[in-house]
Each structure stands twice: as C-alpha cells, then as structure tokens.
Amino acid sequence: MEKIITFKNFTKKFKTNQIGPINFDIERGSITALLGGSGSGKTVVLNALTGIIKKYKGEIIIEKINRKNRKSYLINKSMGYYTQMDFSLYDISAYNFLYDSCKIFGLAKNKIKEKIEYWLTFFELWDKKDKKLKNFSWGMKNRMNFIICFIKEPDIIILDEPGANLDSIWRNKIKNLLIKFKSEGKTIVVTVHNIDELAELFDDYIILESGAIIFKGSKKELDLYNKFKIFFSVKVDIKKFRDFMNSKKIKTFKYDSLENSIVFASNSAEEINWVFLFLLKESVPIKNLIKLSISMESIYKALEKNE
C-alpha cells in the first residue's frame, strides 16, 4: 500500500530527555494506534505531525511533502486534528465560531453553511447553534472539538484521546464514524488510553516507551487477541476442552480451579461459536462469559512473549 506519512530519524531534544530517533511509516487508508504511557513521546510525535513542533532533527514526510518545507502548512488543509479545547473564554456562538473556522480552513464559501448544519445536527447541537461556547457543558464542548476535526472532511484524521469524557452512546457513534471514514479511504491516527474500545479497528500499532519505539507493526505481528474468560457451572474435562480448542486453533490459557474458569483468545464470532458448540455437545452449562479488556499491560505481555 501507499505510504502517506513517514518519520525518518525524527529526533527532538529537550533539556532533560530526548524523543527518538523514531522511524515509521503509515499507509494510506489505515487506522494506526499510537500508544504509550505518560512521558513516552506520543504528544511530541502528534505535535510534530501536525506542525506544532517545528524544530527537530530528521524528516517528516506527509503526502510527499517535507514538514520542513516552508509551504508545508498547506498539508494541514487535508488534515483534521481532534484535541480537547475547553472554550471557557470563548464569548461567541457555536455557529459563528464554526463559520469563522471554516473560512480560516479555506472551505468553499457556498459549502460552509451546509457543512455547519450537517455536523451540528450530527452531534445533536443544531438547536444550540446560537448559544455561546463558554456556556456549553463539557460534553457539548467535546462534541464541538469533533466538529472542528471533521468539518473539513479531511483525508488524514488525527485523534488525541477521542473517547475521553464521552458517554457510551457517543463513543459508539465515534467508532462507527471511524469505520465509515476508513471505508472512504481516509487515514486515521489515534492515541487512546481505553484501547479496548477501538482495538478491533486498528490495522497497525506504534508503541512508544521513554522516547523510543518498542514495537511497530500489525495486530497480527503483535499477536494481540481478544480474550474471554468463561466460568463453568459444573466441573469440565479441561484436557478434553483444550484438545478441542487446539483442533480449532483457538488459544487457551491458565485454568483457574477455584473459579472453575478458563481464558481463551478469539478474534472472530465463528471461533466463539465453536466454544459454545463444544459445551452444548458435552452438556456443560456456563455461569458467565466476560470479555477481558485490552490494556497496555496486555500489550506489554504480548511484546514479552514475542521477544
């Protein structure tokens, strides 16, 4: 696939630490997770990608344009960036703010009103269009941040913690929106703490630690699975269960005799169906089935396993 973003020997020095050298490529039409703990360098990478950080060593190439080129600001026309602005001091209505923003973004004048109405309606803020931003609730302000990111309908979308301060309904809507954008060939870069909510969408992972990349590659290369814990109501022949799972190439992990539970890994509904078919055939009722969350801890474990 075509590379749309390239970091080549990117290095940013600070007084007490250094980020890089960092090298990675992002393919067009993919969703990439940029992950790492506090101080790992994620914010520096995002700020350099969006042009906020201008002084660094190495190269950042976006759409074949070097960020160090004096006209690299033109790249931003095809880029949308979500971050959490507070708007507490913005004594302007939502509609007028978006109208002014669209003019700054360079949107065609005859399309501005249409786009503002569409996105305010989508985020259920159309009836609040004349309300001043400083009087918005935090949730409403957050939705405005998404509108700022999406209103250009950019080819490159960068999201810094998109699920923060959103309820489950809106997190699901954002997830579906990302699926739609990907189907349209847009390139998406996401930083997120609640990895589990978006993990199934990620094509690739870039994982940072202390300013260095400790992993870059696909979900398959990371060997990261969705894990489920199944609790049995009665004793089950664990060896027979494991043998069956192995025959279907489904990974199983430690059996907990106290809980009478076992963890298995699956990335498809078909594999989960095989589990239920086995239990039905063996007349083994289950007490509960829960999905285990994907976290940085589980990612680190996957990395240790692959070393």
pLDDT, tens digit (0-9, with 9 covering 90-100), for 16-45: 889 999 999 999 999 999 999 888 999 999
Instruction: Count up the domains in the chain and report the number.
Output: 2
**Residues 156-169, mean pLDDT to the nearest whole number:** 86
Whichever domain contains 109, its CATH number is 3.40.50.300
Same domain, 76 and 192: yes
Domain harbouring 235, CATH code: 3.30.70.100
For the stretch 46-72, pLDDT in tens is: 999 999 999 999 999 999 999 999 888
Whole-model pTM: value is 0.83
Structural tokens at position 102: 């669209």
Whole-angstrom Cα distance, residue 182 to residue 201? 9
| pLDDT, average across residues 235-245 | 93
- For the segment 173-195, what is each residue's pLDDT rounded down to a tens digit? 999 999 999 999 999 999 988 88
CB 20 within 8 A of CB 212: yes
- The amino acid present at 94, given as its one-letter code, is A
Are residues 66 and 31 part of one domain?
A: yes
Q: Check whether residue 295 and residue 213 sit in a common domain.
A: no
* The pair of three-digit structure tokens given for residue 129, joined into one six-digit string: 């269009």
* % of the chain exceeding 90 in pLDDT: 70
Whether 214 and 235 map to the same domain: the answer is no
Same domain for 279 and 182? no
DSSP assignment letter at 294: P
Q: At 227, list the tokens.
A: 């894990």
Is the pLDDT assigned to residue 117 strictly greater than 60?
yes
Domain, as residue range, for 279: 226-306
Q: Are residues 41 and 184 in the same domain?
A: yes
162 and 296 together in one domain: no
- Nearest in space to 143 (alpha carbons), one of 163, 114, 113, 117: 163
240 and 209 in a single domain? The answer is: no
Of the three residues 222, 237, 268, the one that is the final residue of a domain is: 222
User: Do 213 and 207 form a contact (C-beta atoms < 8 A)?
Assistant: yes
Task: Enumerate the H helices of 90-192 as residue ranges.
Answer: 94-105, 109-122, 138-150, 168-183
3-class SS of residue 208? strand
180 and 92 in a common domain: yes
DSSP states along 150-172: HTT--SEEEEESTTTT--HHHHH
| Residue after which a domain boundary falls, among 169, 198, 222 | 222
Shared-domain flag, residues 92 and 185: yes
Same domain, 130 and 275: no
Q: Are residues 132 and 174 in the same domain?
A: yes
Among residues 192, 207, 222, the one where a domain terminates is 222
